[in-house]
A and B are shown apart, each in its own frame.
Chain A
């Protein structure tokens, strides 16, 4: 493949301050370029005929999309967080999750590495707290009282 590689957001030299937000994949232009095919594959699943085609032969259906090998693997293995790293947007990846019969909570549990029961428990007790989750720089600082949640 000779298509130009868009830089990963992390490698941009001018780092907008939103990249300091931990555990967050801001869907900017770089991510949109990188994930365009992956996201449009997910979007295709909003049509019943495409869902049927994907269900009956996943490999053939994926062949129709110009995905990178990493993106294809992330789809086949349902690596929800990896999809975001490869340019996926959660509103699009959710369409694949919905295809699998998952709710948003299942998807959230999948991205955060906990069970759906643990995620539900966190939400019903007030959600993930903002304290300790504002800033990567603050998490790296020695006085930070929280270990980084995103490497």
Chain B
């Protein structure tokens, strides 16, 4: 059986990818952030997951207001970086894993999570920046990727509890796959940020730190947090944090925190990076 052995929570700030793409990651404004995440990249180089399931949201790139699916699973053999208005990011195409993705789609839908299936889908910074954060700038991404795209742009996104339970169903789906591959799951987005309105620029470091603590040790309590609380305390775009609960739900109840970094700001966002490994019991 395949096994989810690690969970990674990370912000997916477009400027982080842009800084790397432009070779500015050693500039004084960026070096402190990239110094902080070096330990995570070292961990990734050791851990070498065969597959990464990346839970992220599309930012009006692959989807518009024409069609707003709540949960999407990407079943394509490959995914191309989206043109977000500045041309496509110059990063490798993302190799999919149709066999596992279809297995997951079938398992999840029969488990009563009504996934939308995407046989073709461009992937925007929500997915490619987390790969850049963890892997740097390889010529090909060293893992296969299964995109799980969550609507958090149109209110209401799925509840934190729903996201947490989807994670549990993903755990069951992966565990029933006939390979012995090692899988990492990413929950991306957040932490506190607001990109709109008179309150744009909101940062709430105290709330972010409490969120990181609770994701590790009290995920079921965190899953009960309302959308209004996220938007009020972490900013309207901070509601992306519900996607970390998908990752956490796919992990064992007891996990070991092996890495944590925070940095304020990257662009207009409070940046978080967290790595969890499964403890023995579930």
Contact = CB atoms under 8 A, between A and B. Distances in A.
A24 B235 CA distance: 8
Q: How large is the interface on A (under 10, 10 to 19, 20 to 34, 35 or more residues)?
A: 35 or more
A111 B197 contact: yes
Contact of A127 (B154, B227, B264): B264
Interface string A95-106: 100110000110
A22 B198 contact: yes
B270 interface: yes
Contacts of A126: 203, 205, 264-265
Classify the secondary structure of B's interface with A: loop
Interface stretch (A55-63, A69-77, A83-91): A83-91
Interface residues of B, number: 40
Interface in A8-37: 16-18, 20-29, 32, 36
A108 interface: yes
Interface string B178-215: 00000000000000101111111111111100000000
Contacts of A149: 198-199
Interface stretch (B57-65, B95-103, B216-224, B244-252): B57-65
Given A39-B64, A91-B153, 14 more contacts: A21-B236, A24-B199, A28-B155, A28-B156, A32-B154, A98-B85, A104-B195, A104-B268, A105-B268, A111-B200, A127-B264, A128-B194, A130-B202, A149-B199
5 nearest A-B pairs in the assembled complex, by CB-CB distance: A127-B203, A23-B198, A23-B199, A90-B196, A98-B85
